[in-house]
Structure 1
Amino acid sequence: MTPKTFVSALAAAKLPSVFNPWRDRCSIHDRRDAAARRRSNLQGMLEAALDAHVETIWIARDLGYRGGRRTGVPLTDEVHLTHASALMGGIALERATQGPEIAERTAAIVWQVLGRIGQPVMLWNVFPFHPHDADDPMSNRCHSRAEREETWPLLQALVSMVQPKRIVAIGRDAHLALAGLETEVTAIRHPSYGGQREFINGMYGLYGIAGDPVGSPELPLGPRYAETAKALA
């Protein structure tokens, strides 16, 4: 499967009480071509990840309504689209929504860590879409077992395409859900609900990074991407 066919397979999925950012359009916040922009964003991330021969996929549980639902890039809010662009070699990533940029706390912490690590990774979710309560499209809920089983082939296709040496599960729920994969899975605490420092320290330990984890660089700083990051600053 190629990045293009993978994104097309994602866009074809339709489930009740689930927002598919690569297919659906939010009538409140989205531009008219929002789904197409998000498809382009994700395809660009995938192509860059393959070009960079990324060795790791970070996988959380579900898309959040303030992050990947709006951008089409998992674990990435609108505030950090330029960070994602720089880390992946300067690819073009576009906003798909109107109005002010919306921040997501989890995305901010994830990109703080990625900025310090400075290595490209592939970001994903066990359940690739945004599950919400039936009467509240701007809520977050945990996906069901049936929803996970229905979309599991998409996760397997991604892993087969990227062929990572390691998968990092962000949070206990993601770790339990990924038990069926053949690739090695390392569990790191999710940064929400008081887990920020454990997440940061866990990731820094995984990548052999020492120092105070409080600092948050404005752009990714890896030597391979420093020139692009500087240009985007």
Structure 2
Amino acid sequence: MNTSRFIRALKSYQGDNVFNPYTDVCPVYDRYNANVIRSKNLSNILNSLQNNDVDAIWIGRDLGHRGGRRTGLALTDEVRFERAEQFWNANIKRATKGEAVAERTALNIWNFLERTGENIFTWNVFPFHPHETNTPLSNRSHSSKERDFGLGILENVVALLQPRKIIAIGNDAHINAVKVFDTLPIYKVRHPSYGGEKDFRKQMSDIYKLP
């Protein structure tokens, strides 16, 4: 597995009520070549990380409409783009028009991510944006069929980056991570949404031995 093959595998996916940020273009918010930009951003980040010792992959559930749908980057919104570029030492560009949009989950993730001092990649069980029928800017949980495709992709990204451990953010991420990986250490932390911020910070601080 290399970066080019990995990106091609992502682009191969098509599903009902799913926005694939590496092939699809939102007619309202995206630049005309947004899918190309997002694919290039992801490729640049993966290539940068492959040249380093990767501590962990932090795994969430799926892309949200305010974050990853727009950026193509898990747990990352546009407001944190400059910080992401520096953190991953990779050239990335915005794929959307207008004001940068913030996502609460991304805020909590990035406020801790930069404190670790480690090389970390962010990903999801299902690496696309699942939405409700006829409501593209909504969020829904992925289906079992979508999950199965996503877990195959997750195995590929782990093979590509060879992290020392997996951090599963939330119950869904943990349940699925343990199905796939029996040799990598897997740490479960609470998702920072819905009142979980304090627990998330405490559990992450324990893992990374930070105050």
- TM value normalised by structure 2: 0.96
Matches within 5 A, 1:1-233: 1-89=1-89, 91-180=90-179, 181-182=181-182, 183-210=184-211
Secondary structure of 1:117's counterpart equals: coil
Partners in 2 of 1:139 and 1:21 — Cα distance? Answer: 15
Farther off after superposition, 178-187 or 28-37: 178-187
Aligned-partner residue type, residue 192 of structure 1: S
Partners in 2 of 1:106 and 1:150 — Cα distance? Answer: 24
Q: Percent identity?
A: 43
Aligned-partner residue type, residue 15 of structure 2: L
Partners in 2 of 1:79 and 1:120 — Cα distance? Answer: 21
**Superposed displacement of residue 19, structure 1:** 0.4
Q: How many aligned positions are there?
A: 209
Preserved contact between residue 87 and residue 118 of structure 1 (Cα < 8 Å): no
Give the CA RMSD over aligned residues. Answer: 1.0
Preserved contact between residue 169 and residue 189 of structure 2 (Cα < 8 Å): yes
Partners in 2 of 1:48 and 1:202 — Cα distance? Answer: 28
Consecutive unaligned residues in structure 2, runs of 5 or more: none
Preserved contact between residue 87 and residue 119 of structure 1 (Cα < 8 Å): no
Partners in 2 of 1:151 and 1:113 — Cα distance? Answer: 25
- Post-superposition CA distance 1:53-88 (Å, at most 9, x none): 212000000111111110111111001111111111
**Superposed displacement of residue 118, structure 1:** 2.7
Secondary structure of 2:115's counterpart equals: helix
Preserved contact between residue 55 and residue 118 of structure 2 (Cα < 8 Å): no
Partners in 1 of 2:82 and 2:50 — Cα distance? Answer: 19
Partners in 2 of 1:150 and 1:39 — Cα distance? Answer: 19
Preserved contact between residue 65 and residue 140 of structure 1 (Cα < 8 Å): yes
Preserved contact between residue 62 and residue 129 of structure 2 (Cα < 8 Å): yes
Aligned-partner residue type, residue 171 of structure 2: R
- TM value normalised by structure 1: 0.87
Secondary structure of 1:28's counterpart equals: coil
**Superposed displacement of residue 41, structure 1:** 0.7
**Superposed displacement of residue 167, structure 1:** 0.2
Aligned-partner residue type, residue 123 of structure 1: T
